[in-house]
Amino acid sequence: MPNSVRGAGALVALEGAVAVVVVVVLVVRGLQGHDQSQASGYGTAAWFGILGGAVLAAGIGLLAGQRWGRAIAVIAQVLLLPVTWSLLTDSHQPLLGGVLGVVVVAALVLLFAPGTNRWMAEEYEVEAP
């Protein structure tokens, strides 16, 4: 397994782990009554839990050499690009947007690196370019 897959797996697993931390924070805030609506806090936590859990699983899968993790990882990165843009512009959170942008772009570069493409093609016995 190439280092590009390991690097992508680590970055994607990190994203998933951050989402799981957000779930814990949202649930704790909901239990303490900080949210305007408990349904909103718990609903957001459930959303982050489902998506973040899938992203975390994809990252762990890539680290374990599982090719299925790449599809989920690519979709997650593409969906995080507009989030990055929003953090940089409308949300006025340039530090968070910058950090997220670097992680997302780095993960995409690693997910489409030549070594990763060759590794993916081996499963299907196809000659990668």
Portion of the chain with pLDDT greater than 70, in percent? 93
3-state secondary structure 74-103: HHHHHHHHHHHHHHHCCCCCHHHHHHHHHH
CB 71 within 8 A of CB 83: no
Instruction: Give the model confidence (pLDDT) of 42-100 as tens digits.
Output: 888 888 899 999 999 999 999 999 999 999 999 999 999 999 999 999 888 999 999 99
> pTM of this prediction?
0.85
